[in-house]
């Protein structure tokens, strides 16, 4: 059965970079489905890319090969790594992009493909086309990871602190992973883990460190004009939102911003 290859980059759509990656894949993996997650990641924004990948991969079929290239260190010493989780393959630079995908995995295998990458003819500035696409094509054609590199431990990978929140006493320190076009701020609080936990706080009102009140809600429309809500978004994470206004603008937040939540009654 043909495998899907899913692409995630910060290359944008104005330049020929994505088209050239797809051309390499089409030439060497002719029977595969080439799908796009997104190519509008903010340039060099590994945090946003990590969130996009973690939020998106469960919707792709088993066997999908994910090629995630947001690579500020391109041309500098950093490993090319492959991870297997949930019967899917993730190919990325070892810069922390896979931090959220690997978090909490019960079964995980990881390979260093740097030697195979070094055998490919490539430019120093476009490894997406010259290294990651050819490696993905080999995998799609049936080559196994153990034939391409050496197995390594998850602990040897670069893992970013924003993969999960920190708990300091009665304060939950969270990070903004993404701000969507509506100004909603997606936090690194996974809904399955944190919604019920925060719902048990003494008051349905929470506050950021500067005492800006938040309301726990289930829908944007339930919020009054000035309210900032904390709710379960569609991507499997909690988010800060307003009703037809930008929470990011009102709170002065951006991707990578850290904030703290605490029970207003504590």
> Could you tell me the residue ranges of all domains in the chain?
4-159, 164-263
Give mean pLDDT, residues 203-217. 70
Which of 41-45, 66-70, 168-172, 201-205 has the weakest average pLDDT? 201-205
pLDDT of residue 1: 60
In the chain, the percentage of residues whose pLDDT exceeds 70 is 95
Equal CATH topology for 4-159 and 164-263 = no
First and final CA of the chain: distance in angstroms? 56
Worst-scoring range by mean pLDDT, 84-98, 129-143, 212-226?
Answer: 212-226
pLDDT range class, residue 91, cuts 50, 70, 90: very high
Residue 241 has pLDDT above 70, yes or no: yes
pLDDT of residue 82: 98
CATH topology for the 4-159 domain: Rossmann fold (3.40.50)
pLDDT band at 135 (very low <50, low <70, confident <90, very high): very high
Q: What rounded mean pLDDT belongs to the chain?
A: 92
Rounded to two decimals, the pTM is 0.93
CB 114 within 8 A of CB 58: no
Do β-strands 237-241 and 229-232 pair in parallel, antiparallel, or remain unpaired?
antiparallel
Picking from 2-6, 177-181, 207-211, which range would have the lowest pLDDT averaged per residue? 207-211
Cα–Cα distances (Å) from 23 to 6, 63, 89, 129, in that order, read 14, 21, 21, 9
Q: Confidence class of residue 171 from pLDDT cuts 50, 70 and 90?
A: confident
Answer for the pair 15, 9: CB distance below 8 angstroms, yes or no: no
The residue that leads in pLDDT, 260 or 104, is 260
The strand pairing partners of 2, in sequence order, are none
Helix and strand numbers, DSSP H then E, in the chain: 8, 15
- Architecture field, domain 164-263: Beta Barrel (2.40)
Measure the CA–CA gap between 238 and 247, rounded to whole angstroms. Answer: 13
CA angle 254, 101, 121 (to 5 degrees): 95
């Amino acid at each position: 059965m043909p495998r899907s290859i899913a692409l995630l980059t910060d290359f944008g759509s104005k330049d020929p970079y994505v088209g050239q990656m797809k051309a390499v894949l089409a030439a060497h993996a002719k029977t595969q489905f080439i799908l796009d997650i997104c190519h509008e990641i903010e340039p060099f924004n590994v945090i946003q890319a990590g969130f996009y990948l973690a939020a998106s991969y469960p919707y792709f079929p088993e066997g999908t090969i994910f090629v995630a290239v947001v690579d500020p260190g391109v041309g500098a010493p950093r490993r090319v790594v492959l991870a297997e989780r949930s019967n899917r393959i993730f190919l990325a630079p070892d810069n922390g992009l896979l931090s959220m995908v690997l978090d909490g995995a019960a079964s995980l295998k990881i390979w260093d493909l740097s030697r195979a990458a070094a055998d490919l003819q490539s430019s120093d500035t476009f490894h997406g086309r010259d290294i990651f696409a050819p490696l993905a094509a080999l995998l799609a054609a049936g080559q196994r990871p153990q034939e391409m590199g050496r197995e390594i431990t998850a602990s040897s990978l670069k893992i970013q602190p924003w993969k999960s929140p920190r708990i300091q006493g009665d304060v939950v320190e969270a990070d903004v992973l993404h701000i969507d076009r509506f100004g909603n701020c997606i936090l690194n609080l996974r809904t399955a883990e944190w919604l019920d936990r925060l719902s048990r706080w003494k008051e349905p009102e929470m506050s950021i460190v500067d005492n800006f009140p938040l309301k726990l809600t289930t829908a944007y429309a339930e919020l009054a004009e000035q309210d900032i809500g904390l709710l379960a978004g569609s991507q499997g994470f909690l988010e800060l939102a307003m009703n037809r206004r930008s929470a990011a603008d009102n709170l002065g937040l951006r991707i990578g911003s850290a904030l703290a939540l605490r029970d207003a009654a504590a």
